[in-house]
Amino acid sequence: MKKAILSRTGKLLAVTALAAGVNLANAGDTIKVGVLHSLSGTMAISETTLKDTVLMMIEEQNKKGGLLGKKLEPVVVDPASNWPLFAEKTRELLEQQDVDVIFGCWTSVSRKSVLPVVEELNGLLFYPVQYEGEESSYNVFYTGAAPNQQAIPAVDYLMNEVGAQRWVLAGTDYVYPRTTNKILESYLKSKGVAAEDIMVNYTPFGHSDWQTIVSDIKKFGSAGKKTAVVSTVNGDANVPFYKELANQGISAEDIPVVAFSVGEEELSGFDTSPLVGHLAAWNYFQSADSEENDAFIEQWHGFTENDERVTNDPMEATYIGFRMWAKAVEKAGSEEVDKVRSAMYGIEVPNLTGGMAKMNENHHLSKPVLIGEIQDDGQFDIVWKTDEVVKGDAWTDYLPESANLISDWTAPISCGNYNTVSKSCGGAVAAE
């Protein structure tokens, strides 16, 4: 057992040494890949795995000979769940380390911090986590779910399949939950839900005392109407939240919770038996039955040398984004940002759940939506899936300020927020 641990430690140390910037070749012979994920702080529970996923993909690509005859060199930084530090680390990656691409961020507040830096310095960021939409940057490819690929289908499922009539929108207090819940409030009201049947609550990152909030949820759900919780609680606050639900005897039959930020990685940290039946909405679950997924899981277990390590949705989004970027580099014959970006449109790679993911002109993917039910082993039973892939929508139809906006970074529109009524672009346009 000790020998296996030493082997795994030695492998990860070797990869980390390379990631820290140990050059195995001259700078001109490598393509530098920035890895921008929190390895400490409240978001480390989720983001460390994505750092490892990028390192795995780089290792695999290098075994194939790299790209364009060059080895890929990872450059890992730790923004430490500190949102302003994300911007500083991004500037470091682009100006000092001269990386050609960045894979990173989890929370929207970290992405918003990074956005002006990658736009100023013409960097290229692949963002792998579900988010609130209402954004389309020339310098970002969004491989996680937009609201129409997660939040809206999840509410439809609860409404149509579970019969929910009252709604608790519980989130962490930052931009993703607030904007997502603003969209969901508008959507629910468009479906005839009364304002008094919607309860909204926000808590800070790392919140641990859920007793009062869960009591309020329980009381709200006792009005004689089927009640459901839509959770945008993020990071390690999920552990005490679900524990308190169990402590107060709230089962999935009583008040089901559908989560947008809880996956296999988060559930691996605690006893899930009291949570059986609660739900999550993602574009991927480890339990998906496909040859591509089997190969991905095998690769992950081989890389980590740990068959207990789980996979999750942001890992698939990272995998898809990395493979698309690699194909775009080969297609463009260059790692230069402008050439790679132009080559990205229309690129397809297999989803791990079956079918093909496609990168669209709005920098969002087309991919399926899945609803999973938590099992006592910490995995999800897929109880619902869209028949076709769903194209990510950068701008929601359910907010008046964005209902007329579209994103299309290809000619002739070449704009991230084009108003279809005024026929004008409200922000930056694509460089010629």
Asked whether 134 and 356 are in contact (CB, 8 A), the reply is no
Q: Are strands 405-408 and 390-391 parallel, antiparallel or unpaired?
A: unpaired
Task: Give the residue-averaged pLDDT of 62-75.
Answer: 98
Asked whether 309 and 278 are in contact (CB, 8 A), the reply is no
CATH architecture of 2-146+289-368: 3-Layer(aba) Sandwich (3.40)
Q: Is the pLDDT of residue 16 over 50?
A: no
Helix (H) or strand (E) holding 240: helix 238-247
pLDDT single digits (tens) 318-354: 999 999 999 999 999 999 999 999 999 999 999 999 9
Residue 334, token pair as written in the block? 């260059």
Its pTM stands at: 0.89
Residue in 133, 31, 43 with CA at minimum distance from that of residue 86? 43
Distance (Å, whole) CA 331 – CA 353: 25
Asked whether 111 and 119 are in contact (CB, 8 A), the reply is no
Task: Give the residue-averaged pLDDT of 123-151.
Answer: 97
Burial class (CB in 10 A: 0-12, 13-18, 19+), 233: buried
Asked whether 269 and 238 are in contact (CB, 8 A), the reply is no
Better-scored residue on pLDDT, 402 or 1: 402
Whether 2-146+289-368 shares its CATH topology with 148-288+371-390 is answered yes
Pick the CATH number of 148-288+371-390 from 3.40.50.2300, 3.40.50.150, 3.20.20.220, 3.50.50.60: 3.40.50.2300
Q: Is the pLDDT of residue 40 over 60?
A: yes
pLDDT single digits (tens) 151-197: 999 999 999 999 999 999 999 999 999 999 999 999 999 999 999 99
Q: What are phi and psi of 168, to 5 degrees?
A: -105, 120
Task: Give the residue-averaged pLDDT of 127-142.
Answer: 96
- What pLDDT is stored for residue 85 in this prediction? 98
Distance (Å, whole) CA 146 – CA 132: 6
Those residues whose C-beta lies under 8 Å from the C-beta of residue 394, and which sit 6 or more positions away, are 133, 134, 135, 136, 142, 146, 362, 363, 364, 405, 406, 407, 416
pLDDT single digits (tens) 235-247: 778 888 988 998 9
Those residues whose C-beta lies under 8 Å from the C-beta of residue 89, and which sit 6 or more positions away, are 36, 77, 78, 79
For 134, half-sphere exposure in the C-beta direction (CA atoms, 13 angstrom radius) is: 18
Asked whether 266 and 45 are in contact (CB, 8 A), the reply is yes
Amino acid identity at 378:
G
Per-residue exposure over 195-223, b if at least 16 CB sit within 10 Å of its own CB, e if not = eebbbbbbbebebeebeebbeebbebbee
SS3 252: coil
Domain boundaries, the chain: 2-146+289-368, 148-288+371-390
Instruction: Return mean pLDDT, the chain.
Output: 92
For 207, half-sphere exposure in the C-beta direction (CA atoms, 13 angstrom radius) is: 22
Q: How many CB atoms lie within 10 A of CB 391?
A: 15
- Cis amide bond preceding 147, omega within 30: no
Asked whether 284 and 351 are in contact (CB, 8 A), the reply is yes
Better-scored residue on pLDDT, 279 or 16: 279
pLDDT band for 431, please (50, 70, 90 cuts). Answer: low
Residues 383-388: contacts with CB within 8 Å, 24+ apart? 383/279, 384/157, 384/161, 385/353, 386/153
pLDDT band for 305, please (50, 70, 90 cuts). Answer: very high
Task: Give the residue-averaged pLDDT of 104-131.
Answer: 96
Q: Is the pLDDT of residue 432 over 90?
A: no
